[in-house]
A = this chain, B = another copy of it.
Amino acid sequence: MSRPTRQSPERGGARSRLLEAARDVIRAKGFAATSVDDLCGAAAVTKGAFFHHFGSKEALGVAAAEFWAETTSGFFAAAPYHEPVDALQRVLAYVAFRKAIIVGELAQFTCLVGTMAQEVYATSPDIRDACGRSMFGHTATLEADIETARRERGIAGDWTAESLARHTQAVIQGGFVLAKAGNDPGLARESLDHLDRYIRHLFHVTEEDVDERNH
């Protein structure tokens, strides 16, 4: 069925098409429930191509997590939340941005590495670690802004920028879980409102303060 056309579009693109298919199909069905044939079908390539590029299904999982790390880091680096010159405003803009991109179908805005890590953490250490690198690599980029904001504003408190960055990620990931369980993206957005309120509290943001330096 739907044999890939001979003289198929861009020869050499099988690997990236498989990674894109993995990103989309695994987010919808999960890693274990996604078969190699599913991926080949979605990417319009044959099994020969699959095992030419990836030594095993597990190796594809690792590659998919790394692909996710690359593409998302590019996506977030190009996002507009970096614009404010004030570091705290960047942090709050990050949270607002994360909320703003929660639209449409669940499988399109949820996190590949969160989903995969949850599923394979005990059965595939390689995939788990690749997911961990992607996730904590991302939190590290936020951590820098949090740390800067803290210094700029002279904020004390018994918490670290690292832990707050990770907490932010936890709220996002947890929001995805609730959104899936309740079949309602609004549940993910809701938790980000609480996170926003919490961060404003940590940085003693008053009502008048809010638009003080808004890009």
Contacts and interface: CB of A to CB of B under 8 A. Distances in A.
Given A117-B181, A181-B131, A29 B170 contact: no
B180 A117 contact: yes
A120 B157 CA distance: 40
A28 B114 contact: no
Oligomer: number of copies: 2
A178 B173 contact: yes
A166 B175 CA distance: 9
Given A107-B122, A190-B163, A193-B159, A177 B114 contact: yes
Interface string A95-128: 0000000000011000001110111111100001
Interface in A158-173: 159, 163-164, 166-167, 169-173
If over half of A's interface residues share one DSSP class (helix, strand or loop), that class is named, otherwise mixed; here it is helix
A206 to B, nearest CB: 14
Contact of A169 (B128, B164, B174, B176): B174
Nearest to A182: B132
A121 B114 CA distance: 14
Contacts of A107: 122
Interface of A: 28-30, 32-33, 106-107, 113-115, 117-123, 128-129, 131-132, 135-136, 159, 163-164, 166-167, 169-178, 180-183, 187-188, 190-191, 193-194, 197-198, 201-202
